[in-house]
Amino acid sequence: MAPNIELKFGPMLIGVFLNMILYGILIIQTLSYYQTYHRDATWIKLFVGYLFILETANSILDMCMMYQPLIQGFGSDTAVANFPTLFMTEPILMALIACPIQLFFAWRIQRITMSIWIPLLICLLALTSCGGGIWTGVMVGIVKTFARKPELHTPALVWFLTSCVADVLITLTLVRSLSQRKTGFSSTDSVIDKIIRTTVQTGMITAICAIGDVAFFMSLPRTALNFLWDLTLSKLYANCLLSTLNARAALNELTKGNPSSNQNRNIIMDPAPTRETRRQPLSPSYELESSKSLGQTQYSSHEDVEYGITVTKVVESRTDPSPRDSW
């Protein structure tokens, strides 16, 4: 009986420990966000607050969930045989956290690519995953016992697989779109490369965690080893989003141009330049450092406080010499 108990509650307890560690990181990231980005759109600040409230509830419920079998029901057969009563809240809260984050990134991709098809597919996958998470939570309340855990396979697969596909699609699309924004200037391109690395790191963390959850859930259905991944997943989603939002200040330090010019172009949110616009003789050039310009130099302004990764935009105009001056 002892090994059976260890395989049931050991992974769950470790998962809750990891959840609480990530919650501490989330508190720091949330405080940093509100202290730094006062000018963000109100809806983004409310969105961060929504995520923090749900993550706080998730951490409290996870601790109560483990208190029931390990303390209140210690030594009883019922505690060993049944899922903790509050366990049904885990997939529901995770779905309510992950889905809006994936929808947020779908909106971000739409702003970058100016296309609706990939964002629409991501939204479809996110909503399907949310439905699968809620379905799984309801089924946990119906199934109740560890012995019937395989009955959760169908809703759990709908939940995890669609979420995993959405995460991979978000990461690949952002990497491709950001790669198209390279300007040919090494200083600007190095910043874009940093953004791409951050995107890959944050996006693939949640995807790998979801894949691990599915793999352990399907290959070891009679154990709770998948909860090593499962109970940390919601915190990973929230921390990855806040990591992306908080990275803007550091990246902007790298993209400051001429101090006399505060006019910038958002390389993350604006559409990528087309081949035709790149060929225009008076098209804007992008450089991180102040450039020596010939003729009259014009600075134009754009600042996006939602995604403030910016580079200085310098438009140079030159006047052809008159025939008399050319002699």
Closest CA to 121 of 162, 82, 154: 162
Angstrom distance (rounded) from CA 93 to CA 85: 15
Mean pLDDT of the chain: 76
pLDDT level of residue 186 (50, 70, 90 thresholds): low
* pLDDT of 163 strictly over 60: yes
CB distance 10 to 220 below 8 Å:
no
Calpha distance 180→268 (Å, rounded)? 11
Lowest mean pLDDT among 2-16, 25-39, 120-134, 285-299: 285-299
E strand or H helix at 297, and its extent? Answer: strand 296-299
Give the mean model confidence (pLDDT) for residues 260-282: 44
How far apart are alpha carbons 312 and 261 in whole angstroms? 8
296: three-class secondary structure by DSSP:
strand
Which residue would you say has higher pLDDT here, 85 or 8?
A: 85
Residue 202: left (phi > 0), alpha (psi -120 to 50), or beta?
Answer: alpha
pLDDT, tens digit (0-9, with 9 covering 90-100), for 55-111 = 999 999 999 998 988 888 777 777 777 888 888 999 999 999 999 999 999 998 888
- R_g of the chain, CA atoms, integer Å: 25
pLDDT value at residue 184: 66
Q: How confident is the model at residue 33 (pLDDT cuts 50, 70, 90)?
A: very high
Range scoring the smallest mean pLDDT among 171-185, 193-207, 293-307 = 293-307
pLDDT at residue 31 is higher than 90: yes
DSSP state, residue 76: -
What band does 120 get if pLDDT is binned at 50, 70 and 90?
very high
d(CA 178, CA 273): 11
- DSSP H helices in the chain: 2-36, 42-67, 77-81, 89-113, 117-143, 153-179, 186-219, 227-254, 275-279, 323-326
- Structural domains in the chain? 2-254 (1.20.1070), 264-326 (no CATH)
| Average pLDDT, integer, range 118-137 | 95
Q: Tokens representing 52?
A: 């923090």
Average pLDDT over residues 128-134: 95
CB 162 within 8 A of CB 132: yes
Rounded distance between C-alpha atoms, residue 218 and residue 212, angstroms: 10
291 pLDDT more than 60: no
Best-predicted range by mean pLDDT (228-232, 293-297, 322-326): 228-232
In the predicted model, what is the mean pLDDT of residues 302-312?
A: 41
Among 116-130, 161-175, 313-327, which is the least confidently predicted range? 313-327
Residue 138 in tokens = 């309801």
pLDDT at 185: 63
